[in-house]
């Protein structure tokens, strides 16, 4: 039987809990067939294995925590295989050797018996100690960026992962020119076998076909899913924003941080002003109860459109653009009081500048 969204109340969010408490060992709080006995529940699995790999620097544990043929999805392109995960992690630590990963929340669901889906929101802190190819030489600057990793987990192994990162902020922290980085990436994309970018064409076509998830009215994700649909599908921004608290806190990529319905509307219309002929789809939802009656919701969504308007990404290019985003919401009393949305805006600019295929 698949657990209800509010089942297992003893499986606690990291919100408001110290890392010492989060990593405390003890008896199981949730049955996890096939998992290492050190993991007490699915949230503990995500927090603890992340700590073991990144803070303890035991990168080889990726081989026991990712499936050999795991699929990784980013807006910069897909990858397959645990050895890719290992090499990417080694490469990241070669540049940011003191990197720590601070878990802000883990919102999870059991999508089928024994198949767990987690949406892990983190802030990374690190010093650029090594030269970073395509970005700049070592600066010894310290910074961080918000990332959300959505993972499908079975029997102690991540079999599929969707990763979104606020890459522009990460570049700004080390003084890099994001426009130059995006232009260089786009130029490199235009060389070689263009079939390696077919994934993006297929993803845009899939978004335009629709058929995404429509949460049931009893599921907490129904409220934010309706809010996004009212905005992206119907251009009813006032009706959409009415589902937010007037003082809701909004955190979007590239240091967009404000409060209230007007600020949220501005974030949405920035996208819509740049992208015409848009198609929107909800790809996954999850929810978990929080203390004091609040509810946390994770919603992964995709947006496809034509870059036919000027504005935030420069003059209209006529390029097809794909956005893969994850939003974390906090609900209180049937209204949204917080929206934290992450997508890779560098990869958006890379597409606008002619990269990632036709």
Task: Render pLDDT for 159-214 as a digit per residue (tens, 0 to 9).
Answer: 999 999 999 998 888 888 999 999 999 999 999 999 999 999 999 999 999 989 99
Residue 136: per-residue pLDDT: 64
Residue 129: per-residue pLDDT: 65
Write down all domains in the chain, each with its CATH number in brackets.
19-176 (3.10.450.50), 194-200+211-352 (3.10.450.50)
Q: Calculate the CA 115 to chain-centre distance.
A: 19
**Percentage above 70 pLDDT, the chain:** 97
Name the average pLDDT for the chain.
94
Q: What is the pTM of this model?
A: 0.95
Which has the closest alpha carbon to 167: 79, 74, 100?
Answer: 74
> Structure tokens of 223?
């409220």
Q: 325, exposed or middle or buried, with CB in 10 Å at 0-12, 13-18, 19+?
A: buried
Greater confidence, 84 or 99?
84
Q: What are the distances in angstroms from CA 291 to CA 224, 294, 295, 299?
A: 20, 6, 8, 20
Condensed to tens digits (0 to 9), the pLDDT of residues 140-157 reads 777 788 999 999 999 999
Confidence class of residue 347 from pLDDT cuts 50, 70 and 90?
very high
279-289: b (≥16 Cβ within 10 Å) or e: bbbbbbbbbbb
> Structure tokens of 139?
């600066």
């Amino acid at each position: 039987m698949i657990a209800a969204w509010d089942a297992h109340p003893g499986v606690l969010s990291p919100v408001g809990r110290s890392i010492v408490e989060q990593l405390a060992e003890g008896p199981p709080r949730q049955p996890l067939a096939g998992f290492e006995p050190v993991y007490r529940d699915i949230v503990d699995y995500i927090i603890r294995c992340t700590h073991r790999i990144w803070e303890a620097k035991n990168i080889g544990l990726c081989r026991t925590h990712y499936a050999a043929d795991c699929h990784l999805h980013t807006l910069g392109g897909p990858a397959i295989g645990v050895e890719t995960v290992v090499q990417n992690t080694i490469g990241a630590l070669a540049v940011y050797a003191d990197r720590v990963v601070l878990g802000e929340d883990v919102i999870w669901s059991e999508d089928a018996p024994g198949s767990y889906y987690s949406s892990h929101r983190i802030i990374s802190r690190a010093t650029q100690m090594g030269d970073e190819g395509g970005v700049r030489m070592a600066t010894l600057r310290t910074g961080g960026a918000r990332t959300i990793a959505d993972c499908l987990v079975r029997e102690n192994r991540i079999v599929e992962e969707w990763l979104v990162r606020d890459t522009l902020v990460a570049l700004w922290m080390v003084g890099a020119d994001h426009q130059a980085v995006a232009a260089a990436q786009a130029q490199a994309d235009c060389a070689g076998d263009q079939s390696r970018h077919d994934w993006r064409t297929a993803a845009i076509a899939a978004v335009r076909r629709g058929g995404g998830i429509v949460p049931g009215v009893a599921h907490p994700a129904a409220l934010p899913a309706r809010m996004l649909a009212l905005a992206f599908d119907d251009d009813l921004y006032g009706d959409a924003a009415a589902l937010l608290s007037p003082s809701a806190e909004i955190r979007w990529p590239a240091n967009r941080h404000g409060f209230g319905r007007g600020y949220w509307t501005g974030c949405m219309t920035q996208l819509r002003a740049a992208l015409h002929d848009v198609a929107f789809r909800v790809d996954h939802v999850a929810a978990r109860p929080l203390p004091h009656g609040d509810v946390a919701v994770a919603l992964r969504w995709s947006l496809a459109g034509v870059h036919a308007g000027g504005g935030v990404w420069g003059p209209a290019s006529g390029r097809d653009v794909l956005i893969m985003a994850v939003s974390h919401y906090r609900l209180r009393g049937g209204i949204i009081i917080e929206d934290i949305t992450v997508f890779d805006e560098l990869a958006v600019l890379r597409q606008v500048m002619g990269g990632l295929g036709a």
